[in-house]
Amino acid sequence: MFLLVFLLLVFTPPIFGCGEKITAQTGQVKSPNYPNGFYPSNKDCIWDITVSGSSIKLYFESRFGIEVARGCGYDYVQVHSLTSRGASQIGKYCGSQSPGTITISSNHIRVKFHSDSSATDKGFSANFSAVVNGGWSDWGDYTDSGQCSNTCGTGTKRQTRTRQCDNPAPLGGGSQCSGSSSEDQTVACKLRECPVHGGWSTWSDYEPGQCSVSCGTGYQNETSSRDCNNPTPSNGGEDCQGDDVRTRETTCSMDPCPRICELDGTKMPYARDFTKYNECQDNQLVLKTCPYKYSWDQNKQKCVKVCPLFVVKSLADPNDCYKYIQCVWGFYIVMSCPSGTAYAADLKVCKHVRDVQCQY
């Protein structure tokens, strides 16, 4: 019951009394006493109706009764279209046949009901409504309707904007808006920069190190380097894999050496092994080896213990700066620095070869 009352309140057009000037989009005009009795004699009702729209639709209910006469000369309901050029009759109606639905191509009409002093009848009721053709609202802003085509770097995505057929909305059977209510566009997008993984530059030329001897022929370590800048890692890209320094051993020639063994008993270090030494015997250079855990000390001219007992420390290899000696409770182990590094005696750690002054 409540729903029925609500629908009647919402959808029942307003009813206008006999002879009013009306400005409304919908409404109802009817003869006096309709539908509960006959209309009175000698009655004139004129409704001047204006709507906001391009035309007006007038619907006469089927229960229609106005005294019939040739040319509707006695009682009648008459409809005129009103424009700036004047009034134009749309129709004059009487009898029991309802005119039905009439569409007038004007937004201003006049409806006139007239009864004379003779017979009366049940009368009429007519609903009017503006006929409004739909018009588009302005386009809304573009909003994303798809994802970026790429997860990194520049891609594309689709955007959509919409409009509504409510400016004005169709009314009274007016036409819908023509065209689409939405349109798309494709725009560039970038979620983030793509990672750039590092790449190596070309190797540099080999640079010679210090010769292992001060005279005659010895050996030297040559180094070559490269940089991780082709390209440089960026945006979370990975570093280059592999070494940035490489070494190779080559021979080197110095000035000729003077005769070494001019005096028997002369002792001197052996360049390739700190646990060995050379001694002149019968004008010949003889290689000798220190006892286990001992190394040759040129200053003391004797073999000395490499690692004192109860000591844990590292020492520089006297013959090779790319190695070091690790002392552990009187024992020693010859260790090699990682590739591209050399032992820094002052810091007692392996450092990049560029930061270490190798003397051998």
Domains with residue ranges and CATH for the chain: 12-131 (2.60.120.290), 143-169+176-190 (no CATH), 306-360 (2.170.140.10)
Residue 77 banded pLDDT, cuts 50, 70, 90: very high
Strand 43-50 and strand 76-83: the pairing is unpaired
The CA–CA distances, whole Å, from 288 to 302, 307, 344 equal 12, 20, 29
d(C-alpha 198, C-alpha 240), whole Å: 5
The rounded distance, in Å, linking the Cα atoms of 24 and 78 is: 20
Statement: the pTM of the whole predicted model exceeds 0.75: no
**Stretch (H or E) spanning 220:** strand 217-225
Contacts (Cβ under 8 Å, ≥6 apart) of 129: 13, 25, 26, 51, 56, 57, 59, 171, 172
Range scoring the smallest mean pLDDT among 36-45, 85-94, 136-145, 215-224: 215-224
Give the count of alpha carbons within 13 A of 276, CB side only.
Answer: 10
Tokens (6 digits) for 192 = 């983030």
Confidence band of 3 (pLDDT split at 50, 70, 90):
very low
pLDDT in tens, 292-350: 888 888 888 999 888 877 778 888 887 788 889 898 888 888 899 999 899 998 888 99
Q: Are strands 349-352 and 55-60 parallel, antiparallel or unpaired?
A: unpaired
What gap in Å lies between CA 58 and CA 348, rounded to an integer? 107
**Residue 201 and residue 227 in contact, taking contact as beta carbons nearer than 8 Å:** yes
Q: Which two tokens stand for residue 93?
A: 């109606």
